[in-house]
Chains A and B, each alone.
Chain A
Amino acid sequence: MKKLKLVMVGNGMAGVRALEELLKIAPDLYDITVFGAEPHANYNRILLSPVLAGEMTLQDIMLNDVDWYATNHITLHLNKKIEKIDRVARKVVAADGTEAPYDRLLLATGSNPFILPVPGATLDGVISYRDIHDTNAMIESAAKFQNAVVIGGGLLGLEAANGLKLRGMNVTVVHLMDWLMERQLDRTAAGMLQKTLEAKGLAFKLKTQTAEIVGSEDAGKAGRVTAVRFKDGAEVPADLVVMAVGIRPNTDLAAAAGLYCNRGVVVNDTMQTYDPRIYAVGECVAHRGIAYGLVAPLFDMAKVCANHLANFGIGRYQGSTLSTKLKVTGVDLFSAGDFSGGGDTEEILFNDAIGGVYKKLVLRDNKLIGCVLYGDTVDGGWYFQMLRDRQDVHEIRDHLMFGQSNLGNSGHLGQNKAAAMSDEMEVCGCNGVCKGTIVKSIKEKGLFTLDDVRKHTKASSSCGSCTGLVEQILSSTVGGAYQPAAAKNKPVCACTEHTHEEVRRVIREQHLLTIADVMRFMEWATPNGCASCRPALNYYVLSTWPHEAQDDPQSRFINERAHANIQKDGTYSVIPRMWGGSTSAAELRRIADVVDKYKIPSVKVTGGQRIDLLGVKKEDLPAVWRDLDMPSGHAYAKALRTVKTCVGSEWCRFGVQDSTNMGIDLEKDLWRMYAPHKVKLAVSGCPRNCAEATIKDVGVIGVESGWEIYVAGNGGIKAEVAQFLCKVKTRDEVLEYAGAFLQLYREEARYLDRSVHYVARVGLDYIKSHIVEDAEKRRALYARLRFALQGEPDPWRERFEGAGKREFELLEV
């Protein structure tokens, strides 16, 4: 089949990102040609400020060099400006006459800096700050001249001013408005920023309008700039004037071709212009009336555009919430959303003028809608995540201001401020990755997302406890271009655009019973998914349609396929169930005999009050299970693990309830229950809580008058204390409440979410409304759990009686 021709006009970050996304999902669909007006391949425009400041070089910020285009069979025309789109003949024509026909055209023409229409704006030494050419002009000027004036006290203007100051110039920033960065900061934060920058030697003139740029005249020819004159008549000497007063989407080419433009090239949610063969992405477009000038939304657009070009047609761009970070070394500033407050909004403020820390959180209807952080931006990513997810924050409102507590996180020396870490310090304890390695990878490989960093460095890819740190490093290295993924819209995996919630809903509504049905109905991009989505889908169909959906062992992780836990050397561990941690002489004798008979190298008592046999050969597993003659402990599964108990009132002189038997009853009630992740319970017989029930998914604590039930605790990576759900009187109530809570979790959580993550997302009030306040709902949930567990076999018994034999047999030749 002849390939379609895709032509891209403009060779910047948005366009090239669209091509990268396209090559990832449909590498062979198009013959691609790219026209770029600049002589360089694609570089990271947002890192121009560090180049200006002398912290990086052009080489450091290249994203795709010329080789990249060659490797991907893309025809690249540098230094060629497209002058005309011939929509009838479907071709583009460059200034030098080069023509390229297209089937699909992608416009990524970016934006032009806005030049103030004042006298003298065309003088020598008056420049904008947009590309590497401008950056080089500034670097050259700084070497020759003394005085610089930057017009515009926004993000770009301040970064330019900072860079010029670092290169030794006297810099005055002129700003029309009452305070700096008025679109990103409130007055207080802007005042603190101004103070910090003044301490670095910058001068400011606020509320000042430029009237004229004064130049030397050289025999009637316009010469070089000498000063800037303001409306009030004052003058400041200047050898260099940088205009950073805003950008205008570059729509000339599109408008000349008759495409509808309004602020920018108007596009729909699939990034198509009024001519459906022509797409547009980046700073040149106007989407729902908004033209974006920051890089993060451009990446979202690129993804949607690529998806549509690849004929998948499932992605839509629906606008972006923005966040900003100033890339000036030594200044910590973060802002996002609507921070101006007023009206029906509420504000939470923290203001330490001496310490240089200011935080403002703006809420409406119990949701965070904006924030400004100055001096301490550690929690910027966390706030932004809640903002984008429109998360209800009323339960955490009292400590919202103090940030996401990282206490209890293990694996990175208790560090929670990336900025304070030296390059040699370890960030990711699981994979031994230090800060310098991550920063280097981000810069050299042009990484922008957490997923990219995980793939390239492995940091935060195992236990995830350092995710917050890695996000901080990302955001301080690439600035506002880093956007934490919106958890709400996060697809299951790269095989689909659908979220876990959408998948669960569709399985329920459409009565889908197999993984293949789900993939077909929801238009999966891959023929049989991947190692991430298949186990999730298998769990979703089974938990939604118990006794109807058929289990697919090949879509289970090996532990759940072999019903034992794979170890680093490929052997397995076997943990038989010991109800409530109770055992007997007969069981212990059988265990000892099995250890001898199968030469099992290691025996260990687990934290869950059971016995672990380590180093069992896979082919021995069925025989080991048969000889043990004990039920499966499911220590290998996303399922009910253990119910830990203390001794309780039967023996303990402090015990007020029979916790051991309560634990045994719970374990027998919930045994064989699969779940989105592992589930651990504990029962203590008095408030001394020797069974550590307050760090379990469900913890039960006996008191004189009955049982207290706690939910959503966790003792792992991040220790989380379980929250009090309610108090009940009887054993049967404990079974019903605990079972109903776990059924709710089974029905609604995302696969691989522990109960703590699930409850954090929906809120404890929601849980209470289903379990405590509504008896009918609780009983229905518990009844559904009972139905699901009915007749569920012991997997070990099934196998030693002959099921699934070939899983355990080696082929001999």
Chain B
Amino acid sequence: MSAVMNASKAVWTRVCLLEDIPQLGARVVKSAHGNIAVFRNAEDEVFALLDKCPHKGGPLSQGIVFGRKVACPLHNWNIGLDDGQAVAPDHGCARRFALKLEEGSVFVDLA
């Protein structure tokens, strides 16, 4: 998977190996932007979102991952991993971070 990136601004930072993230799970990356949740689903797709549910700020990294969604552990809002959007009828959006996978390593754009 390769993310579309703005070559002039992107700051690709290696965060871990793909295997470091459990399938259907997440890890938390400490960054200047706050905690970032890095998810891996059953198809080995990886996604990065700010670790804050748009509802009440719950840590999305701690939720159950299914398909391309995560269920927030606090009040069970479902958040799309690819777009950060809450699944209707809930409204809200978690900030996304660009991410790429190269030779088994996960890189997040921390610009």
In the assembled complex, the Cα of A568 lies from the Cα of B59 at a distance in Å of: 9
Q: Could you list 13 A-B pairs, sorted by A, with CB under 8 Å?
A: A528-B66, A530-B64, A530-B71, A553-B22, A554-B65, A558-B73, A568-B58, A810-B35, A811-B15, A811-B27, A811-B30, A812-B30, A813-B15
Q: What is the CB-to-nearest-CB distance from A463 to chain B, in angstroms, rounded to a whole number?
A: 12
Nearest Cβ in chain B — how far from A719, in angstroms?
A: 25
Taking A531-B78, A553-B22 as given, write out 8 further A-B residue pairs in contact, using a Cβ cutoff of 8 Å, ordered by the A residue number: A456-B89, A531-B71, A554-B25, A555-B24, A558-B73, A568-B58, A810-B29, A811-B28
CB proximity to B under 8 Å, residues A514-539: 526-531, 534-535
How many chain A residues touch B (Cβ–Cβ < 8 Å)? 25
Residue of A nearest to B72 (CB): A531
Which of A455, A535, A570 meets B59, CB within 8 Å? A570
Kindly state whether residue B20 has any CB partner on chain A within 8 Å.
yes
Q: Are B73 and A566 in contact (CB under 8 A)?
A: yes
Given A568-B74, A570-B59, A811-B20; A557-B64 close (CB under 8 Å):
yes
Count of interface residues, chain B, beta-carbon cutoff 8 Å:
36
Check if A813 sits within 8 Å of B31, measured CB to CB.
yes
Contact A528 B24 (CB under 8 A): yes
In the bound complex, do residue A531 and residue B42 qualify as a contact, i.e. CB atoms below 8 Å apart? no
How far, in whole Å, are A703 and B41 apart by their CA atoms in the complex? Answer: 56
- Chain A residues contacting B42 (CB-CB under 8 Å) are 527-528
Q: Smallest CB–CB gap between B63 and chain A, Å?
A: 7
Which residues of chain A are near B59, meaning CB under 8 Å? 566, 570
Q: Is A806 an interface residue (CB 8 A)?
A: yes
Digitize B48-64: 1 where CB-to-A-CB distance is under 8 Å, 0 elsewhere. 00000000111100111
User: Are B66 and A526 neighbours in the complex by a CB distance under 8 Å?
Assistant: yes
Q: Spell out B's residues near A (CB within 8 Å).
A: 13-16, 20, 22-25, 27-31, 35, 38, 41-42, 56-59, 62-67, 69, 71, 73-74, 76, 78, 89, 110
- Asked whether, in the complex, the Cβ of A554 is within 8 Å of the Cβ of B23, the reply is yes
Query: Which residues of chain B are near A534, meaning CB under 8 Å?
Result: 64, 66
B56 to A, closest residue via Cβ: A568
CA–CA, A120 to B90, complex, Å? 56
Please, which residues of chain A bring their CB within 8 A of the CB of B67? 526-528, 530
Interface pair A813/B110, CB less than 8 Å apart = yes
Residues of B within 8 A of A812 (CB): 29-30
Measured CB to CB, the nearest residue on chain A to B31 is A813
**A530 x B66 contact (CB < 8 A):** yes
Taking CB atoms, residues of chain B closer than 8 Å to A529 are 66
A562 contacts B by Cβ under 8 Å: yes
Least Cβ distance of A426 to chain B in Å? Answer: 18
Shortest beta-carbon distance, A693 to chain B, in Å?
Answer: 33
CA distance A806 to B16 in the complex (A): 12
Q: How far is the CB of A562 from chain B (nearest CB, A)?
A: 7
Residue of A nearest to B71 (CB): A531
Contact assessment for B64 and A554 in the assembled complex, using a CB-CB cutoff below 8 Å: yes
Residues of chain A within 8 A of B57, CB atoms compared: 570
Identify which of A535, A555, A570, A812 gathers the most chain B CB atoms within 10 Å of its CB: A570
Could you tell me the distance between the alpha carbons of A568 and B75 in the complex, rounded to whole angstroms? Answer: 10
A753-790, CB < 8 A from B = none
- Output the least CB separation between B23 and chain A (Å): 7
A555 and B27 within 8 A (CB):
no
Alpha-carbon distance A699/B21, docked complex (angstroms)? 44
Q: With A813-B13, A813-B15, A813-B110 in contact, is A566–B64 under 8 Å at CB?
A: no
| Complex contacts, A810 vs chain B, CB 8 Å | 27-30, 35
C-alpha gap A530/B68 in the complex (Å): 10
Chain B minimum-CB-distance residue to A567: B74
What is the minimal beta-carbon distance from B85 to any residue of chain A, in angstroms? 16
Which one, B20, B35, B56, B73, contacts A806 given CB within 8 A? B20
